[in-house]
Amino acid sequence: MAGQRHPVVPTPHGAVRGRYEQGVAVFRGIPYAAPPFGPRRFRPPEPPEPWDGVREAAGFGPTAPKPPYSEAFARYLSDPEIPGDDCLNLNVWTPHPGPGARLPVLVWLHGGALTRGSSAVPVYDGSTFARDGVVCVSVNYRLGVEGYGLFPDAPANAGLRDQLAALEWVRDSITAFGGDPDRVTLAGQSAGAISTGALLAAPRARGLFRRAVLQSGAPEASDRDKVRRMVRRMASRLKIPATAEAFAAADRGALLRAQAEVGRFSSPVLGGPAFGIVVDGDVLPVDPLEALVEKDAAPGVDLMMGWTRDEYRLWLVPGGLLERVDRLGAVALAGARARCHCGNEVVRGYRALRPGAGAAETVGQLVTDHLLRVPLHRVADARPGSSYVYEFAWPSGLPGLGACHALELGFVFDSGDRPDSRRLAGEGAPQELADAMHGAWVRFVETGDPGWRAWDATHPVRVFGDGAPHTAYGPRDAEFDLWKADVAVRAMRSGSPARR
**Residues with catalytic roles:** 190, 311, 405
Residue of 74, 28, 230, 248 whose CA lies nearest to 144: 230
Contact 373, 499 (CB under 8 A): no
463 CB burial (10 A radius; 0-12, 13-18, 19+): buried
Nearest C-alpha neighbor of 310 from the set 373, 353, 355: 373
| Centroid of chain to Cα 88 | 17
Euclidean distance between CA atoms 68 and 78, whole angstroms: 10
* Residue 398: closest CA among 326, 306, 466, 318: 318
Q: List Cβ neighbours of 39 (8 Å cut-off, separation of 6 or more).
A: none
Diameter of the chain measured on Cα atoms? 71
Please count the other Cβ atoms lying within 10 Å of the Cβ belonging to residue 84: 11
The answer to whether 58 touches 5, Cβ cutoff 8 Å, is no
CB distance 372 to 305 below 8 Å: no
Q: What are phi and psi of 34, to 5 degrees?
A: -75, 160
Question: Which of these, 24, 32, 25, 8, lies nearest to 171 by C-alpha position?
Answer: 32
Contact 133/96 with Cβ under 8 angstroms? no
**Order of strands, edge to edge, in the sheet holding 54-56?**
8-11, 14-17, 54-56
- The contacts of residue 5 (CB under 8 Å, 6+ apart) are 20
Q: What is the chain's percent helix, strand, coil content, to nearest 5?
A: 40, 15, 45
How far is residue 341's CA from residue 322's CA, in Å, rounded to a whole number? 21
Question: How deeply is 226 buried, as exposed, middle or buried, from its count of CB atoms within 10 A (0-12, 13-18, 19+)?
Answer: middle
190, 112 contact by CB (below 8 A): yes
Residue 19: partners with Cβ closer than 8 Å, 6 or more residues away: 6, 7, 25, 26, 58
